[in-house]
Amino acid sequence: MPASTVSFVSIVMPALNEERYIADAIASILPSTSAFDYELLVMDGGSTDGTGRIVREIAAQNPRVKLIRNPRRTQSAAMNIAAEICDPRTTVLLRADCHALYPRRFVENCVETLAATQSASVVVSMRAIGRTPVQSAIAAAQNSRVGNGGSRHRRASESGYVEHGHHAAFDRPMFRALGGYDESAPFNEDAEFDARLIQAGGRIYLDGRSTIDYYPRASFVSLAKQYYRHGWGRANTLAKHGMRPKLRQVLPVAVLLASLLGLAAWPFIGPIALLPPAAYLSICVAWSAVLAARAGQPALLLAGPAAITMHMSWAVGFLSRFLDLGSARQLRVRNEEA
């Protein structure tokens, strides 16, 4: 995509009950350049808080900001609807999150990188931050290798071509040609899209200049739900495309299964059976204690429980989807044999 063809950018921000974050997110992402025109489409999935009012107030000051109803509610649907109804001049779609703060010239950098690298997609790294002690502990877990397993886009990374990252900019014609996000799979839509993009010969470029600040879930309950969905979605994507899981994706499942086997064996072989779960818990607790001591922040003692919540919820979600797919496959075989 030559830079000269980038004349209009549609920034798409899926939203659902984001009154605490959306004003700051919009303020941080709005471009200041005159090199291209833009619109910001807030795709509201049915908010019942003050999200709509806040967006309408911003739109009254900046008519490029538009509040649009997303009747299908999901983030995947938000992007797909926006790709169809956006300004016809749009050559670049840019996905934005309400739970994020964007660095200066974020949109401009993404557009320039998309053109300079002739890529179909530009992705970025993300750094979790917190407003409360619990959210800060969860952020510390997500920023660490203990929590993220070394995922490249979860840490500051050098620029280069990758297989996956935190979605930012898309070549709109390519996004539409691939059918956009798969709305039949409610989770992990970004990695699933990346798999199809690479299979189609497209390239994904990680722009190391454009790390965003991301606000994670602020409670352990919401964190557990989120990571259950992450695990479910990853299993679904791997099965759909016949992909092998990476080591960091296998480890949480292995720890969960080893812990369950240990608990089951305890009545028969005694306390030795509890060594696997005890070792895992000790590592997470010791890591969070060191983290809290180094930072001088006692609240970071909760980073260990946050990491455990992330790992175990992800593993349960992964196994749940894996077992569902196995059961469905067996049912199909029986029906074919009948």
Q: At residue 298, does pLDDT exceed 70?
A: yes
Which pLDDT score is estimated for 5?
A: 59
Question: What DSSP state is assigned to residue 206?
Answer: E
213 and 263 together in one domain: no
Q: What is the pLDDT of residues 105-117, one digit of tens each?
A: 999 999 999 999 9
Q: What is the pLDDT of residues 30-66, one digit of tens each?
A: 998 777 899 999 999 999 999 999 999 999 999 999 9
Q: At residue 311, does pLDDT exceed 80?
A: yes
Q: What percent of the chain has pLDDT over 90?
A: 86
Which pLDDT score is estimated for 148?
A: 86
Last residue of a domain, one of 156, 186, 218: 218
Which pLDDT score is estimated for 249?
A: 93
Q: What is the pLDDT of residues 146-181, one digit of tens each?
A: 988 877 777 667 899 999 999 999 999 999 999 999
205 and 257 together in one domain: no
Q: At residue 263, does pLDDT exceed 60?
A: yes
Q: How confident is the model at residue 333 (pLDDT cuts 50, 70, 90)?
A: very low
Which pLDDT score is estimated for 2?
A: 44
73-76 long-range CB contacts below 8 Å, 24 or more apart?
73/16, 73/45, 73/46, 74/14, 74/45, 74/183, 74/186, 75/14, 75/181, 75/189, 76/180, 76/181, 76/182, 76/183, 76/185, 76/186, 76/189
CB 131 within 8 A of CB 299: no
273 and 148 together in one domain: no
Domain count, the chain: 2
214 and 249 together in one domain: no
| Average pLDDT over every residue of 301-315 | 97
Which pLDDT score is estimated for 329?
A: 65
Residue-number span of the structural domain to which 253 is assigned: 239-337
21 and 153 together in one domain: yes
78 and 129 together in one domain: yes
Q: At residue 6, does pLDDT exceed 80?
A: no
- DSSP character string of 20-65: TTHHHHHHHH----SSSEEEEEEEES---SSHHHHHHHHHHH-TTE
Q: Specify if 232 maps to a domain.
A: no
155 and 302 together in one domain: no
Q: How confident is the model at residue 220 (pLDDT cuts 50, 70, 90)?
A: very high
Last residue of a domain, one of 218, 247, 264: 218
Q: Specify if 312 maps to a domain.
A: yes
157 and 258 together in one domain: no
| Average pLDDT over every residue of 285-311 | 96
* CATH number of the domain bearing residue 76: 3.90.550.10
Which pLDDT score is estimated for 93?
A: 98
98 and 144 together in one domain: yes
Last residue of a domain, one of 218, 247, 270: 218
Q: Specify if 227 maps to a domain.
A: no
Q: Specify if 229 maps to a domain.
A: no
182 and 54 together in one domain: yes
Q: Specify if 150 maps to a domain.
A: yes
Q: Specify if 140 maps to a domain.
A: yes
92-95/166-171 β-pairing: antiparallel
Q: Specify if 226 maps to a domain.
A: no
199 and 244 together in one domain: no
Q: At residue 4, does pLDDT exceed 50?
A: no
Q: Specify if 192 maps to a domain.
A: yes
CB 121 within 8 A of CB 167: yes
Q: What is the pLDDT of residues 170-215, one digit of tens each?
A: 999 999 999 999 999 889 999 999 999 999 999 999 998 899 999 9
112 and 180 together in one domain: yes
